[in-house]
């Protein structure tokens, strides 16, 4: 049983509007994958997510890869990705791994093996705790560790790192990498679990969306979230995400407006609440609306023509025609 994994969760990054600059800062891609701590103690490997949940059963090929490395002990911090730098990384393919059937997972692992992109080392093969070392020294140790133990190991990668913002900015337009942003790390910083020591920068964009439906709040008769839609090339309204950043003081009045617009089908293309491995009972509970209300929202990432995260409601757009809300707004 791996015990060290119970002692800490990964260090976090603080979202900033501008990246810090100076000779002591290093820049790395903010990968659009699953953050993962990899623990190996006495030859036994455990993969742990950002929230502390085990990931090993979903990525058996990564577990096997790390078990095959010569060192019996280490702790690495990195990102799980599916795809390749040449052909492109896919978050949707990565999500498919979270499947209850072991046979399905192993089939996917064989067809499209995952990669583990490493950007920090927290314990050496001699079980030395590196968290109190400056990041610059940890990075040097990580490079030596991978050069010695990971050379030629397919799927075990060292994360890119550069010293200039201009070079890092180019990653944001790399459609194959599909990075989520840029992470800035100071060479003098130690590793503090769960603290926002690093800095992360994301490109924030906006889009005008049709409100194609809404959900009531949990145990409430007031609106909890708005379901957002955009018209595709066939003229059908596709569900692309949601926003729940509605001020409490405005929810009662907004609920009355929404209830007056209730009418099927709401979304004429892709609809919310379809069956998936992440569906809950509430996923299918939503009220369809006539396509008349338009809102402007901000977002930071799109995957498979859907907002990767929840969006922020900026304002209502009564001046905007619903038919003007097209999918082209969220293309890369």
Q: Which of 30, 40, 200, 202 is catalytic?
A: 30
Alpha-carbon span 285 to 215, nearest angstrom: 7
Secondary structure (H, E, C), 41-75? ECCEEEEEECCCCECHHHCHHHHHHHHHCCCCCEE
**φ and ψ at residue 309, rounded to 5 degrees:** -125, 175
Is 248 catalytic? The answer is no
Nearest one of 223, 240, 243, 230 to 298, comparing CA atoms: 243
Question: Is the preceding omega at residue 265 within 30 degrees of 0, hence cis?
Answer: yes
* Cα angle, residue 155 at apex, residues 150 and 156 outer, rounded to 5°: 35
What is the signed CA dihedral for 114, 118, 122, 127, rounded to 10 degrees? 60
Alpha-carbon span 250 to 243, nearest angstrom: 14
- By residue count, the chain amounts to 332
Alpha-carbon span 17 to 219, nearest angstrom: 36
What is the CB neighbour count within 10 angstroms for residue 234?
8
Residue numbers annotated as active site:
30
């Amino acid at each position: 049983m791996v015990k060290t994994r119970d002692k800490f969760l990964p260090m976090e990054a603080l979202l900033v509007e501008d990246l810090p600059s100076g000779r002591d800062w290093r820049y790395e891609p903010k990968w659009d994958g699953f953050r993962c701590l990899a623990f190996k103690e006495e030859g036994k490997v455990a993969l742990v997510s950002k929230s502390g949940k085990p990931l090993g059963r979903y990525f058996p090929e990564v577990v096997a890869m790390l078990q095959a490395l010569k060192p019996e002990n280490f702790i690495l911090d990195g990102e799980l990705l599916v795809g390749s730098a040449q052909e492109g990384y896919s978050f949707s393919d990565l999500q498919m791994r979270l499947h209850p059937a072991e046979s399905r997972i192993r089939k996917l692992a064989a067809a499209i093996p995952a990669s583990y992109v490493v950007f920090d080392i927290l314990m050496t093969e001699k079980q030395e705790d590196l968290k109190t070392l400056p990041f610059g020294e940890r990075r040097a140790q990580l490079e030596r560790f991978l050069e010695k133990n990971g050379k030629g190991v397919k799927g075990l990668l060292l994360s890119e790192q550069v010293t200039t913002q201009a070079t890092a900015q180019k990653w944001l337009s790399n459609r194959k990498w599909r990075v989520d942003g840029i992470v800035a790390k100071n060479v003098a910083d130690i590793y503090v679990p769960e603290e926002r020591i690093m800095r992360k920068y994301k490109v924030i964009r906006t889009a005008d969306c049709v409100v194609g439906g809404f959900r009531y709040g949990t145990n409430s008769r007031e609106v909890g979230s708005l379901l957002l839609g955009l018209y595709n090339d066939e003229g059908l309204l596709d569900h692309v995400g949601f926003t729940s950043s509605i001020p409490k003081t405005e929810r009662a009045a907004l609920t009355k407006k929404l209830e007056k617009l209730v009418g099927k089908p709401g979304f004429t293309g892709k609809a919310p609440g379809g069956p998936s491995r992440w569906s809950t009972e509430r996923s299918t509970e939503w009220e369809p609306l006539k396509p008349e209300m338009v809102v402007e929202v901000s977002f930071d990432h799109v995957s498979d023509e859907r907002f990767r995260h929840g969006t922020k409601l900026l304002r209502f757009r009564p001046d905007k025609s619903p038919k003007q809300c097209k999918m082209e707004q969220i293309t890369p």
